[in-house]
A and B are shown apart, each in its own frame.
Chain A
Amino acid sequence: MRRDFPAFKYSRPNNVPTWRGSLQPTEISPVYTIKIVYRFAGWRSKSPRVWAESPAISSDAPHRYDDESLCLYFPREGSWTPDKFISETIVPWAALWLAFYEIWLDTDHWYGPEAPHTGTKRG
């Protein structure tokens, strides 16, 4: 992470493993503060949770879970598994989410690749 996204720093507030850093998807974008919560537990690891903390994300924005974390991938497709680095998957996907979010804000259309949602969202 330090090599690929040096603005991200690790901490453990309330014993919760957390990466927090900034992403700016285009030159004219605001600088977004991103929080990633992830507890590595080998093959039993749960999916990392990702929030865009600031600036505030529109309450109508698509591809978010009920807790407002970002839906970066379709869990059943196995695009993320615990053996993959956060810096090579979750962080670039978060940047991509922000890029498509900004386009959505302007055009009212999500141009990114989508897995249609069915049933209850899972974290």
Chain B
Amino acid sequence: MLDMHKKLNQFYNDHIRLGEERRTLAEYRDTNLNRLKAGLERLGHPSSFDHRDQGSYAMDTINQHPKKDYDIDVAIIFSKGDLSGSALDARKRIEEAMREGGGNFSQPPEAKTNAARVYYAEGHHIDLAIYRRYEDGYGNLIHEHASSDWTPRDPMEITNWFNGAVREYSPSKEQGTTVDENQMRRVVRWLKAFAKSREHWDLPGGLVISVLIAECYRLDFYRDDVCLYNTMVSIRDRLQVNEDVRNPVDTTQTLTDRPVDIGRVRRFGDKLDSAVSHLEVLHSPGCTEEQAIKAWHWVFQHSFWSTDGAAESMDEYGKRLGEAARQGAIFVTTTGKVLSDEPQERYVRASLQRFYGS
């Protein structure tokens, strides 16, 4: 397989990892926790709580987003005595307190089933998952999550599971690897970037992708590109046999119980199959660097993967061609090549039309 380890890591560092933006998100989080505290105080509610980072922020798998549409998940944890009403009341209280606390909302705070969500005009949104805790008769610290009802749940269990899996499965320097530590985390970020590479793809979210990677991860001691490719093949093969994805901290629960979830997982398998087909060229003995870059461009649809810095994504090409068709600026050559610029060779200019049907 043509070696793209170094280039893949350059892409990772320059275009995938958050870098300094991570600090900005931490500031957003702290500002919002202060707003929540102020809002609770103004409404006369107990305002003492702990917090824990959750989701991709805590797992350190948030990728750069061109529109800064970042999702920050935070668990806020109250004493049970301070949050004794129903789970719905708790979520509504937090929603009201966030509204009271102020901020540059793009839409009003909203109590969703598992969290209170706050959208900010800067592009990001924050999900505040509400917990309460108490000691049971044996001195155990019990956490309950406010979903449709109060449900026993440890706010850190998914994060701990993921960070543990990254440590356990990734090759380490002591084992003699030449790649950077935490290879599995990089694979999660690359495959999350792949899943978001087309604007209209409707694929699984970060947790389902992370679970599939933890299950199908194929480490490589010397090359990240080999590891990524082999893991993609492995997930594709796994999904061809079984589309059910289980909660890693409670395998009696499925993460794919709704038909829409199964549809997303199935499409993820199909897209991986297409990606693997496009990457096949890397295994041919005569594969050139240009061919390899084109193949990885198909996967990530990012201008980084270009030999002249101008590779257009398929979405960009579609928009450009669609606009040209609406303007009557489509030129078709004698072999059927479709162009939006007038060619030198013989052509027919396509007259205006609209495709019919759904």
Contact = CB atoms under 8 A, between A and B. Distances in A.
B330 A96 contact: yes
Interface stretch (A1-9, A11-19, A35-43): A1-9
A113 B322 contact: yes
Interface in B309-358: 314-315, 317-319, 321-322, 325-326, 330, 332, 334-338, 346, 348-358
A110 B318 CA distance: 8
B53 interface: no
A51 B351 CA distance: 20
A115 B354 contact: yes
A10 interface: no
A115 B198 CA distance: 24
Given A62-B357, A73-B356, A115-B354, A22 B321 contact: no
A55 interface: no
B201 interface: yes
A80 B253 CA distance: 56
Contacts of A26: 337-338
Contacts of A65: 357
Interface in A17-60: 22-27, 32
Interface string B209-243: 00000000000000000000000000000000000
A107 B199 contact: yes
B348 A4 contact: yes
B200 interface: yes
Contacts of B357: 62-65, 71, 115, 117, 121
Given A71-B356, A92-B330, A107 B336 contact: no
Contacts of B337: 24-27, 95
Given A6-B334, A106-B198, A107-B201, A63 B321 contact: no
B202 interface: yes
Given A87-B348, A92-B350, A72 B315 contact: no
A44 B215 CA distance: 63
Nearest to B315: A107
A79 B354 contact: yes
Contacts, number: 145
Interface residues of A, number: 50
Given A79-B353, A88-B351, A96-B350, A103 B200 contact: no
A26 B81 CA distance: 67
Contacts of B198: 106-109
A24 B354 contact: no
B358 A24 contact: no
B353 A113 contact: yes
Nearest to A28: B294
A93 B353 contact: yes
Contact of A74 (B317, B321, B348, B356): B356
A79 to B, nearest CB: 4
Contacts of B315: 107, 109, 111
A25 B337 CA distance: 4
Contacts of B199: 107, 109
A121 B356 contact: yes
B57 to A, nearest CB: 28
Interface in B274-323: 314-315, 317-319, 321-322
Q: Which of A62, A88, A107 has most B Cβ within 10 Å?
A: A107
Contacts of B348: 4-5, 87-88, 91-92
Nearest to A63: B355
Contacts of B317: 103
Interface of B: 198-202, 267, 314-315, 317-319, 321-322, 325-326, 330, 332, 334-338, 346, 348-358
23 contacts: A5-B336, A26-B337, A27-B337, A32-B336, A62-B357, A63-B357, A63-B358, A64-B357, A72-B353, A72-B355, A72-B356, A73-B353, A87-B348, A88-B351, A92-B348, A95-B338, A95-B350, A96-B338, A98-B338, A100-B355, A107-B201, A113-B355, A117-B357
Kindly list the 5 A-B residue pairs having the minimum CB-CB distance in the complex, ordered from nearest.
A23-B336, A111-B318, A109-B200, A92-B350, A111-B322
Given A5-B336, A7-B335, 17 more contacts: A27-B337, A74-B353, A77-B353, A87-B348, A93-B350, A96-B338, A97-B355, A100-B355, A103-B314, A106-B198, A107-B315, A108-B198, A109-B200, A113-B322, A113-B352, A117-B357, A121-B356
